[in-house]
Structure 1
């Protein structure tokens, strides 16, 4: 079922006509009773319930709102034009907000692609674009958005690892844009049948589950230490090579291979050590 425009009239002109008819009939009734003395003129009072019934046809449409109309249970259309309107008094009306809304899921506990338990939550920005589908295709479209968004979040989280050891493999932590696009596609595919458009979706919370958080933190710290050591060793080797080249180029000292090895060892200990070194001054010759 797709949305279609409803038939209604501008409310201000209809209200003017309605008031004029009331005054005309009221004046005729009073004139007939007072001046003509005709008690049958009072029979005009039967029009009072009629005017009360016709007044039920007036309704207001707020900005960014649609009024879904039904005639004896049959969909009659949706009115989106703002302001005061008048339509068939037999129509029943249900307002549906067309404003952009946010939904933040609860923190879900799921297993990522590596089987690690994680906690994840997301924010979904959505808007009703088809009022007929939102009202008639699902029982409660707001509850439908909530349940299907969390279902899509679970499905998406199981497709990625929390953290990737290889930069070429996307993960939840390192490839945020790709993950958010995937989440939006998953949510939109589920909400399309409810007349809802997904404007944006993004992860708002991501962490390891509490029972493995400490172990994963230690693993991350170990990986960071290894990466830092690799960088330190790489820089230290370059500095040692530069020092030997400068000594040889400037003729400061001529070292044999054994002394070069000893110097390299000492420099690497100084440069790669995580604590301050205590130098030992050799007061004798170079070889003693």
Structure 2
């Protein structure tokens, strides 16, 4: 089932003809309805004009901008009208309205398990529009409801293939760190699901992402611990570089340190730099002999 163009012509002309037929029928009824000598031929012609008036009225339809009318004639698809205006189509046809506007579907907050089995909450918005009216009307029962169900199914499927966050050094794709990649994958999968309904997916975006309440506190502690370890690692790397630079400068300035004093100096500098609290200096003023 694919969309075809329905036959249609100027509706204002059909409206004018229908009004003229109605006026002609009224004139014939008046002229042929003489009580003394009624003219049956004129009355019959008036009845035919009235029938013509009602037939023409059934053929008129109005198409709004960004709207389409799917025309069916006694169960057979005759085509679609997408051009806005007043049109005349085949009489006694059913004209189903289909919106061609761009619309948003904001999914509910779904609770799913990510790739690592952690329960998370996720939600997304789907921007879509109808591009094939025949499929939207005849291939699915209700294309709007179909979009909602397939969108939530695709969101659950994509969320199960990615971890909420990555804590390893390989930096694998994650829901939090690779939002654009996840959205592109969601659009691709959703488009494959909605093609049967004649719907084009314009864009998808994740609007809500969080750990489930039952593990949110534990995962927060895990993130804090990883952040602290990473910060300590950077501090140690910087402290080693500072100590090495200090020792090099002392050697360049002619200060000679034996192995014991060198080790003590390295220890003191590392403690002072790495410590998360301010170091308290002790001044050695010498040794008293009694």
TM-score bracket for this pair, using the shorter chain length? over 0.9
* Match in the other structure for 2:23: 23
* Match in the other structure for 2:169: 166
> In 2, distance between residues paired with 1:250 and 1:14?
105
* Match in the other structure for 2:207: 204
Q: Secondary structure at the match of 1:56?
A: helix
In structure 1, the gaps of 5 or more residues are: none
Let me know the Cα RMSD of the aligned residues.
1.9
Q: In the alignment, is the contact (CA less than 8 A) between 2:114 and 2:161 conserved in 1?
A: yes
1:193 to 196, 221, 231: 196
Alpha-carbon spacing, 1:99–1:48, altered in 2? closer, same or farther (3 Å):
same
Q: Secondary structure at the match of 1:192?
A: helix
> In 2, distance between residues paired with 1:6 and 1:232?
73
Kindly state the Cα deviation for residue 178 of structure 1 after the two structures are TM-superposed.
Answer: 1.4
Kindly state the Cα deviation for residue 247 of structure 1 after the two structures are TM-superposed.
Answer: 1.6
Describe how 1:35-46 pairs up with structure 2 within 5 A.
Answer: 39-40=38-39, 41-46=42-47
Task: Judge which range, 213-222 or 175-184, deviates more.
Answer: 175-184
Kindly state the Cα deviation for residue 42 of structure 1 after the two structures are TM-superposed.
Answer: 4.3
Q: In the alignment, is the contact (CA less than 8 A) between 2:28 and 2:46 conserved in 1?
A: no
In structure 2, the gaps of 5 or more residues are: none
Q: TM-score, normalization: structure 2?
A: 0.91
> In 2, distance between residues paired with 1:126 and 1:54?
36
Q: Secondary structure at the match of 1:39?
A: coil
Q: In the alignment, is the contact (CA less than 8 A) between 2:18 and 2:52 conserved in 1?
A: no
Deviations for 1:196-255, whole angstroms, at most 9, x for unmatched residues? 11111121111111111111110000000000000000011111111111122123x322
Q: TM-score, normalization: structure 1?
A: 0.92
> In 2, distance between residues paired with 1:21 and 1:166?
83
Q: In the alignment, is the contact (CA less than 8 A) between 2:21 and 2:50 conserved in 1?
A: no
* Match in the other structure for 1:222: 225
1:280 to 279, 282, 286: 282
Alpha-carbon spacing, 1:24–1:259, altered in 2? closer, same or farther (3 Å):
same
Kindly state the Cα deviation for residue 22 of structure 1 after the two structures are TM-superposed.
Answer: 3.3
Alpha-carbon spacing, 1:50–1:17, altered in 2? closer, same or farther (3 Å):
closer
Deviations for 1:99-126, whole angstroms, at most 9, x for unmatched residues? 1111111111111111111111111111
Kindly state the Cα deviation for residue 30 of structure 1 after the two structures are TM-superposed.
Answer: 3.9
Kindly state the Cα deviation for residue 67 of structure 1 after the two structures are TM-superposed.
Answer: 0.3
